[in-house]
Structure 1
Amino acid sequence: MKRYLAATALALCTAGLADAADNDVAADVDPAAGLRSDWALQITPYMWATGLDGAISPFRRGPRLQVEKSFSDVMDDLNFGGFINIWGRYDRFVLSGDVMYVNTTDSKATGPLPALQIPGLAAIPAGANIDADVDTREFMATLQGGYRIIDTPELTLDALGGARFWYISNDVLVTASHPILGRISASHEESFGWVDPVIGARLFVNLTDKLSLQGQVDIGGFGVGSDLTWSALATVNYTFTDNLSVSAGYKVLDVDYDQDGHVFDTRLSGPVLGLTYRF
């Protein structure tokens, strides 16, 4: 059951993107170019070797499960994962899009539990042991627009604002074992989602013609969707050609959602490696 969110960690790890939070691994690879052109567009697939830490519930008002997984643990549960980031600019106006999709399967045993109601099963008395297979599909997209408030050959700074969309679907096969009830099983499918407003900024520093640094942060939720969500990304970027660059760094994505009996309180963190193609 704990695997319910390892799905997200894993998607990060497969080729895809660097933002779960909605950050681009290597945005304007050459800030000076921004002074010579009215527009720029780039696509960044990347890998995120992330671990997972937090608490989740696989269904409404289900047990709150603590999750602590390393990157290798996350990979063991992965069925499919993809992550991609798109960054665009016209004059001083910027647009950032980040999409993640992950599918994982996790098998867990929990018990003895206090009395609880499991969808598809009668109320389970205290002391029951629960075995569960959880197939989780997670989709997250962050869309932000903004304005470049500083634009020089050495440094650019963008102010950003937008929304982060979450959609999580779980197929749960539950078997309850109890001295009185014996063994009973049921399957249950449940999905939920929410939208978080986010605000943020991105800083890009050009060190040489080939080497640059980037930092991007955002914060949001504010009780509208989740109680709080934030992300931070820092990378070192190296430009091979006018169209191609590589980035390496570290990323953190945190969300605390607890609404209507659903719990999704997790933090993903780990190194990132991305490849950017610039049009």
Structure 2
Amino acid sequence: MCEALPLSLRRLSKGLLTTCFLFALNPSMTLAQSESGWSNQGLLYILGPSLNGTAGAGDLEAEVDLGISDVFDSIDKGFLGMYRGEGERWGVLLDTVYMDLKMDAEGSRGMLSGELELEQTMAIASVTWRLNDSVQFMGGALYNDISTDIAITGPQTTRLASIGEDWVDPIVGVLFETPVGSRWEFSGSAQVGGFGVGSDLVLVLSGAMHYRFNQWASLSVGYRYLDFDYDDGDGNERFKFDMKEHGPLIGIRFDF
């Protein structure tokens, strides 16, 4: 039976990459095509996420409950970016997130203390197909590379567990976009994946409003929700990542 440690997370000087972890600019903005018929977008963004769930290594588990302020207080390094290219109907989308998270914790009544370090690299690569001016379908793969280090200290002993895992999930979804006036636009996307191939379930939802400054730059403000349910292996090789990552996002999009 796994030992679960409820963690009351404190602010840290190091650690989360940050998700500003985790969350991405909504991919579904209309692209202005170049003379060649192919258009490009580059996106840079930050995310203010909350993290809720369970991370496990071997027979040790840590309950994670991080608010937005905890995440930003724990930022060490990170990268969040997206590329989108589109022709007349077909396109490609690449969404990448890197996170490095470290948390100090205390158990109930102060009898146990612990530390959880979580490093995650996620990339979603999709092919898109435009149904009409507002709707696109997409399908592809989500790659996750996660390493977890857990230390639990009691009155007489300290237990350590460290494990890493990487896997690929199939993922499908739909993008929706519509103009709201001359400069504003709303976009939303929903993706689901896993299906037992890697994760039992992966869910990615996002929505954003976009304001265009000029032909090449726009400001995007929105919200993103990610849900991972992955559990694999036995004994010391067991790895669990059952995590919800959600929060507001803000970023700049460049069209070229």
TM-score range, shorter chain: 0.7 to 0.9
Alpha-carbon deviation of 1:35?
9.1
Question: Which residue of 225, 237, 250 corresponds with 1:273?
Answer: 250
- TM-score scaled to structure 2, two decimals? 0.83
- 1:225 Cα deviation from its structure 2 partner: 0.9
The separation in 2 between residues aligned to 1:161 and 1:211, in whole angstroms, is 27
Residue 255 in 1 paired to residue 252 in 2? no
Match of 2:54 in 1: 55
Distance change >3 Å, CA 224–CA 255, structure 1 → 2:
same
Paired residues, number = 242
Q: 1:244 Cα deviation (Å)?
A: 0.5
**Do the aligned partners of residues 12 and 184 (structure 1) sit closer, same or farther apart at CA in structure 2, a change above 3 Å counting?**
closer
2:19 counterpart (12, 16, 34)? 12
Answer whether contact 2:187 2:207 (CA < 8 A) is retained. yes
User: Using a 3 Å threshold, how does the CA distance of structure 1 residues 17 and 244 change in structure 2: closer, same or farther?
Assistant: farther
Normalised by the length of structure 1, the TM-score is 0.77
Contact 1:9 1:71 in 2 (8 A): no
Select the residue among 118, 141, 148 that pairs with 1:170.
Answer: 148
Q: Distance in 2 between matches of 1:35 and 1:203?
A: 22
Alpha-carbon offset, residue 208 of structure 1? 3.1
* C-alpha deviation, 1:92, in angstroms: 1.3
Question: How far is 1:212 from its partner?
Answer: 1.1
- RMSD value, Cα: 2.8
Aligned to 1:200: 173
Using the TM superposition, name which of 94-103 and 165-174 deviates more. 165-174
CA shift, 1:80, in A, is 1.6
Residue 88 in 1 paired to residue 85 in 2? yes
Cα pair 1:27 1:87 within 8 Å, conserved: no
> How far is 1:205 from its partner?
0.9
Map 1:37-116 → 2, pairs under 5 A? 38-57=37-56, 59-63=57-61, 65-110=62-107
The answer for unaligned runs of 5 or more in structure 2 is none
Contact 1:17 1:99 (8 Å CA) reproduced: no
Q: Structure 1: which 5+ runs fail to align?
A: 113-128, 178-182
Counterpart of 1:158 in 2: which secondary structure?
strand
Letter in structure 2 aligned against 1:259:
D
Cα 1:219–1:43, aligned 2, differ >3 Å: closer, same or farther?
A: same
2:120 matched residue in structure 1: 138
Bigger-Rg structure (1/2): 1
Structure 1 consecutive aligned stretches of length 4 or more whose deviation exceeds 6 Å: 6-9
Q: Within 2, Cα distance between the matches of 1:242 and 1:228?
A: 39
Counting aligned pairs with the same residue, the percent is 26
Q: Deviations over 1:239-273 (max 9, x none)?
A: 11111111111111111112223221111111111
What amino acid sits opposite 1:27 in the alignment?
A: M
Q: Distance in 1 between matches of 2:138 and 2:127?
A: 6
